[in-house]
Chains A and B, each alone.
Chain A
Amino acid sequence: MRKQDFQRIEDYVWEIPASFRDDMQVPARLYASDRLLEAALGDESVDQLVNTATLPGLVKYSLAMPDIHQGYGFPIGGVIASRTGDGVISPGGVGYDINCGVRVLSSGIEAEDIVPFLSELASTLYRNCPSGVGKGGNVKLNDKQFKSLLHEGSSWALKAGYALPEDVRRTEEQGCLKAADAGKVSSRALSRGIGQVGTLGAGNHFIEVDIVDEVFDANAADAMGLVRGRVAVQVHTGSRGFGHQVCTDYVRQFQEAVRRYGISLPDRQLICAPFHSEEGQSYYGAMCAAANYAFVNRQVLTHHIRRSFEQVLSGKLDDWHLRLVYDIAHNMAKVEKHNVDGKTVEVVVHRKGATRAFGPGYEGLPPEYKDIGQPVLVPGSMGTSSWVLTGTEDSMNQTFGSSCHGAGRVMSRKKAKSTIRGDQLRAELEESGISVQAGSLPGLAEEAPRAYKDVDEVVKVVTGAGIAKKVARLIPLAVIKG
């Protein structure tokens, strides 16, 4: 793939026409600056974007956000919308970590007041929030309770004492996809998931204590409780082994389905089935259960984080409480209605490493966000900034109400491990004032800031293209990784 294969549609929008390859059903669009486009051409990500344009029932175009990078099947940063009537749902297009997502918590704590307690806070968070490979949590559930959790999502967490009513209101879909069907989940997935509720996992998942470094939209920041100079917290994790197993099961089952439905694919990982088929509906029910699991997982971790703040800061600071700003998914398939050529069409929007970015007035938003639009949470990499944005009306028109989900990798894990030493990286981060707790130093090296693109450039593209608006920038004070 070469830069010449693209047509520049707008300053930050590039298109590969549907005529580029015989099997493309729609054009493929990439949101990028010149620099990010060059970076995307460095691996297979653009080929993967073109592959997604071959799926049945697509409307308008297949898309990729500026944090695009090579994945498997779909690129990370990919978005497609397939009609529910004659289109498909793709387990490969959602990925293994179903409803991997991010939440941001705000506080009234001045950053300078927390500095003396930062190291103790980081180690308390590490101790209280189970993390690492395969690590189990401390929420003990029987089968009946676990199935209630899968069907009810965040409402279950509220009833169980892990959430505040405001937390539920400020979670995408109020933390519950109603189509969840635990009966479509394998016994193996149930077995993997029951013991991992409230755990961080490993890899690129993290808890981060931040300072609100800059506010760009005072009105939106005020609605979210984000004040310059005060502490915020980010949580990034997903549906753990439960989601991995749901995806594994259905990717396997769908291998037969594509033959039966006569669907031709350029890559077997793009596996899919008609949305209204028995297979498609079974996967959708199981995927929604995994999504609810992930909402609860982040909520229970929030409970552990609040407990940690209280343990360390109670009696030392007047107000250590944390309020949820918002919780969003970035690996999900959602049934939504979008305007296509002047008509409202029901589609399954797959966002793989991309978030919703709905504009002001969207009815699913909590009342306090109705006028500003949905918060869009864009974590950076350790040591760099993260961003809080809002969705726009333009994102509804351009990108099926979608935006970027992070910085996007640019260096392979192999190269990161061979060129960066985990202990040195930790020392560098500590020297720059960032407290680090990590279960694995090689794992820390793989997630080094220089393995990622410049998140500020990614944000420049989505705001420049009009699909999101800047609200606030966060800078890390402490990082906790499995």
Chain B
Amino acid sequence: MFWEEISHTADLSLHVWGEDLRALFENAARGVLDLMGGKPDEHLPMIEKSYDLCAPDWETLLVDWLTELLYLAEDEGVLVSTVTVTEVGDLCLRASVSGWPGGRYDKLIKAVTYHDLAIVPTERGYEVVIVFDV
């Protein structure tokens, strides 16, 4: 795994790393979905969705990307099973996800925050700590 939950008194905090920015964004998505848990209703046909996002800085792009997944989960009720970030560059991201509609997550994550959010280059590639409101 390329993420770990770290202690936060009131909310949830996730430490994520990846060998490059593409991997970091993909792992962050997998990490948040892991935190939310859930059980799919595999009787329904899977749906797929594509994303093309751009932002003024990398941290905002990360918030936007994870916010899209939370919206897909809550408003459209999609229990995401596969996330693929195909391209990250020039402050833009291209990704696709697939999953089952009608699934139910175990845990509610209300939002992705900017609290102390900083993507930093390290020996492992890139790392970030994300705080989620729950």
- List the B side residues contacting A414 at CB < 8 Å: 5-8
Task: Check if B63 is an interface residue, CB within 8 A of chain A.
Answer: yes
**CA of A133 to CA of B134 in the docked complex: distance in angstroms?**
11
Residues of chain A with a CB closer than 8 A to B133's CB: 72, 95-97, 244
Residue in B8, B64, B77 whose CB lies within 8 Å of A134: B77
Check A251 against B104 for contact (C-beta < 8 Å). no
Known: A43-B9, A202-B107. A268 touches B75 (CB 8 A): no
Q: Identify which of residues 259-276 in chain A touch chain B, using a CB-to-CB cut-off of 8 Å.
A: 267-269, 271
A332 to B114, CA, bound (A): 19
CB-based nearest A residue for B6: A414
Query: CB of A119 within 8 A of chain B?
Result: no
Q: Could you tell me the dominant secondary structure of chain B's interface residues?
A: loop
The answer for the CA separation of A201 and B108 in the assembled complex, in Å, is: 8
Residue of A201, A202, A409, A410 most packed against chain B (CB within 10 A): A202
A201 to B74, CA, bound (A): 11
Q: Which residue of A lies closest to B74 (CB)?
A: A134
Say yes or no: is A241 at the interface (Cβ < 8 Å to chain B).
Answer: yes
Partner of B9, one of A96, A255, A267, A410: A410
Q: Which of B7, B12, B60, B73 has the most CB of A within 10 A?
A: B7
Q: Which residues of B contact A226 (CB under 8 A)?
A: none
Judge whether A101 is part of the interface by a CB distance below 8 angstroms: no
A134/B104 contact (C-beta < 8 A), A192-B74, A412-B8 known: yes
Tell me whether A412 and B107 are in contact in the complex, defined as CB-CB below 8 angstroms, given that A95-B133, A134-B74, A256-B56 are known contacts.
no
Among candidates B12, B104, B117, residue contacting A413 with C-beta atoms closer than 8 Å: B12
Closest chain A residue to B104, Cβ basis: A133
The reply to whether A409 and B106 contact each other, CB–CB distance below 8 Å, is: no
Do A188 and B10 form a contact, CB below 8 Å, given A96-B111, A248-B111, A443-B106? no
Query: Does B122 sit within 8 A of A, measured CB to CB?
Result: no
- A residues in contact with B59, CB < 8 Å: 268
Interface size class of A (residues with CB under 8 A): 35 or more
Cβ of A311 < 8 Å from any Cβ of B?
Answer: no
Question: At the interface, yes or no: B51 with Cβ under 8 Å from chain A?
Answer: no
Residues of B near A267 (CB, < 8 A) are 114-116
Decide: A412 and B117 in contact? CB cutoff 8 A: no
**In the complex the two chains form, what is the Cα distance from A454 to B74 in whole Å?**
34
Residues of A with C-beta under 8 A to B67: 248
B77 CB contacts on chain A under 8 angstroms: 134
Cβ-defined contact, B9 with A411, below 8 A: yes
Q: Which residues of A contact B111 (CB under 8 A)?
A: 96, 244, 247-248
For residue A70, CB closer than 8 A to chain B, the reply is yes
Complex: A443 Cα to B37 Cα, angstroms:
11
Contact with A along B72-85 (1 / 0, CB 8 A): 01110100000000
Q: Is A442 an interface residue (CB 8 A)?
A: yes
Instruction: State the total of A-B contacts with C-beta under 8 angstroms.
Output: 111
Complex partner residue of B114 from A95, A251, A411, A482, CB under 8 angstroms: A251
Which residue in chain A gives the minimum CB-CB distance to B11?
A72
Within residues 442 to 458 of chain A, which ones have a CB less than 8 A from any CB in chain B? 442-443
A481 vs chain B, min Cβ distance (A): 12
Q: In the complex where A96-B110, A201-B108, A442-B106 touch, is A70 in contact with B75 (Cβ < 8 A)?
A: no
Which residues of chain A are within 8 angstroms of B60 by Cβ–Cβ distance? Answer: 252, 255
B residues less than 8 Å from A45 (CB atoms): 9
Mask: chain A, 443-482; 1 = CB below 8 Å from B; 0 = not: 1000000000000000000000000000000000000001
- Give CA–CA (A133, B71) in the complex, Å: 12
Chain B CB within 8 A of A128 CB:
no
**B131 in the interface, Cβ–Cβ < 8 Å?**
yes
A255-B60, A267-B116, A269-B115 as given contacts; A134 in contact with B9, CB under 8 Å: no
CB distance from A133 to the nearest CB of B (A): 4
B113 in the interface, Cβ–Cβ < 8 Å? yes
Chain B residues near A (Cβ < 8 Å): 5-12, 36-37, 56, 59-60, 63-64, 67, 71, 73-75, 77, 104-108, 110-117, 131, 133-134
Per CB-CB distance, the 3 closest pairs between chain A and chain B, nearest first, are A72-B115, A268-B114, A412-B7
